[in-house]
Amino acid sequence: MTCLKGRMLRPLSFSLYIYGHIYNLTNAIYVRKHMAEPSAMNQNGTTTKLNQRDETSLVNEEVEVEHLKQCLPKTTWMGSKQNLLIKIQDFWYLTNFSNILTFQTHFLAQDTDLIVASFPKTGTTWLKSLLFSITNRFVNPPNKTPLLTNNPHELVCDLETAIYGGNTGNSKLPHPNQLNELPSPRLFSSHLPYSSLPESVKVSSCKILYICRNPLDTLVSHWLFFPKLIKKITGDENFQPSNIEDFFEDFCQGEVIYGPFFEHVVGYWKQSLEQPNKVLFFKYEDLKENPSAHVKKLAEFVGMPFSTQEENEGVIEEIIDLCSINTLKDLEVNKSGSLSHFFENKTFFRDGEVGGWTRYLTDSMAEKMNELIEQKLGGSGLSFKLKPL
């Protein structure tokens, strides 16, 4: 069967078969490029250039991967015909997803690792700031914290993009071969759904802190944020994203980057119920409503609870104030710095409001989303506050 407008009309089993081939080839390419045998090392311990035969093999494998990708389901991304999304393991990613496969295969979790997990644009930056401040408060008190001179994403690095995503243009971010040198507990993050995390993350005693946000605010934040990334990737400064009405439909259909949203959220929600000592589940709206209680819960979960003395001295409130969006967005590093070639630090800080979606979406959209929430979450015990009380 053939492609129609970028979408493959093939049975699911065929997609899984093709994905398996891509998975094996991508990891063979990674090993050739990054894990040379001792015989390929020179006297100084650095990797020598691949011989012509290996280079030819690499090129052939990379070409085959690109051909195989054409057989997987695809869809447009926010109206961009240059940047399609491709469906693997039931979720949508950018077509250049080799970084995800190498992360899944080669990352070895340690029992002391702490991983912030999230669907994009749901409070990731905030949770990273809180986690870093809590785990480093004895070494770096709030008035001397690296948060004052570093973007939160440089201190809690994203695994599949920043670490396994290749050259980001930021020397502060570690490479895969440097991960064992990081002090414990290592702090990481990921946007992958739970089902797609590396097996080492699932079977180790590392802990996952997941944050989600109501779907309407998440949708609007996506719509405002990702066109900037598409412009950077394509080099097309004149790119205009699909209108909010069309993007709303894409979001409801699950055809957004790292989507579907509800399946992503429910996956971690179920794990937090089944493995409460491994997965801690936060809702952005609850964190906004009662930050003190949730910061204490976070500290207890990672094994670094606040002492009575710290509570009396106002350490919790000090951390909350330091990590607030108003404080972080006013820091010079977050006004002018860049996380990578694609992201300016200031793009990670907008307004952080609950219910800001009301300025962009209609009542009929909200009604449709409420019906979808009931359909997707009914009986799960999970609910969302769409507006502040």
Residue 266 has pLDDT above 70, yes or no: yes
Token pair in block for residue 263: 């399946």
Domain holding 20, by residue range, is: 1-72
Give 163's DSSP letter.
Answer: I
Residue 382: which pLDDT band, with cuts at 50, 70 and 90?
A: very high
The mean pLDDT of 110-125, rounded to a whole number, is: 97
Residue 51: which pLDDT band, with cuts at 50, 70 and 90?
A: low
The verdict on 7 and 142 lying in the same domain is: no
The mean pLDDT of 26-47, rounded to a whole number, is: 48
Residues in the chain, overall count: 389
Q: Of all residues in the chain, what percent carry a pLDDT higher than 90? A: 58
Residue 120 located in a structural domain? yes
What are the CB-based long-range contacts (under 8 Å, 24+) for 147-151?
A: 147/322, 147/323, 147/328, 147/331, 148/331, 148/333, 149/331, 149/333, 150/333, 151/333, 151/334, 151/337, 151/339, 151/345, 151/348
Q: Indicate the average pLDDT of the chain.
A: 85
Q: Which residue has the higher pLDDT, 102 or 350?
A: 102
Residue 150 has pLDDT above 80, yes or no: yes
Residue 27: which pLDDT band, with cuts at 50, 70 and 90?
A: low
Q: Which residue has the higher pLDDT, 33 or 166?
A: 166
Residue 389 located in a structural domain? no
The verdict on 46 and 159 lying in the same domain is: no
The verdict on 15 and 115 lying in the same domain is: no
Of 25, 43, 72, the residue that ends a domain is 72
The verdict on 284 and 183 lying in the same domain is: yes
Residue 22: which pLDDT band, with cuts at 50, 70 and 90?
A: low
User: What would the pLDDT profile of 337-361 be if each residue is shown by its tens digit?
Assistant: 766 666 766 676 677 789 999 999 9
Residue 260 located in a structural domain? yes
Residue 366: which pLDDT band, with cuts at 50, 70 and 90?
A: very high
The verdict on 68 and 79 lying in the same domain is: no
Of 72, 92, 116, the residue that ends a domain is 72
Helices (H), 193-331: 199-203, 215-234, 244-253, 261-274, 284-289, 291-301, 308-312, 315-322, 325-329
Cα(188)–Cα(116) distance, integer angstroms:
6
- Domains in the chain: how many in total? 2
The pLDDT value recorded for residue 47 is 40
Coil, helix or strand at residue 12 = helix
The pLDDT value recorded for residue 152 is 92
Of 37-46, 61-70, 209-218, the one with minimum mean pLDDT is: 37-46
Cα(299)–Cα(133) distance, integer angstroms:
10
The verdict on 194 and 221 lying in the same domain is: yes
The pLDDT value recorded for residue 388 is 76
Residue 210 located in a structural domain? yes
The verdict on 77 and 44 lying in the same domain is: no
Residue 202 has pLDDT above 80, yes or no: yes
Of 72, 88, 117, the residue that ends a domain is 72
Residue 42 has pLDDT above 60, yes or no: no
- Angle value at C-alpha 125, between 374 and 309, nearest 5 degrees: 105
Residue 256 located in a structural domain? yes
Active site residues: 191
The verdict on 246 and 148 lying in the same domain is: yes
Residue 79 burial by Cβ neighbours in a 10 Å radius (0-12, 13-18, 19+): middle
Say if residues 116 and 189 touch (Cβ distance below 8 Å): yes
Q: Which residue has the higher pLDDT, 263 or 20?
A: 263
Residue 361 located in a structural domain? yes
Q: Which residue has the higher pLDDT, 27 or 300?
A: 300
Q: How far is CA 316 from CA 78, 308, 319, in A?
A: 40, 11, 5
Cα(107)–Cα(95) distance, integer angstroms:
21
The verdict on 10 and 46 lying in the same domain is: yes
Q: What is the CATH classification number for the domain harbouring 155?
A: 3.40.50.300
CA dihedral 165, 46, 178, 233 (to 10 degrees): -20
Residue 55 located in a structural domain? yes
Q: Of all residues in the chain, what percent carry a pLDDT higher than 70? A: 79
Residue 2 has pLDDT above 60, yes or no: no
The verdict on 134 and 57 lying in the same domain is: no
Residue 382 located in a structural domain? no
Nearest to 116 by CA among 104, 107, 129: 129
The verdict on 52 and 125 lying in the same domain is: no
The pLDDT value recorded for residue 38 is 36
The verdict on 229 and 344 lying in the same domain is: yes
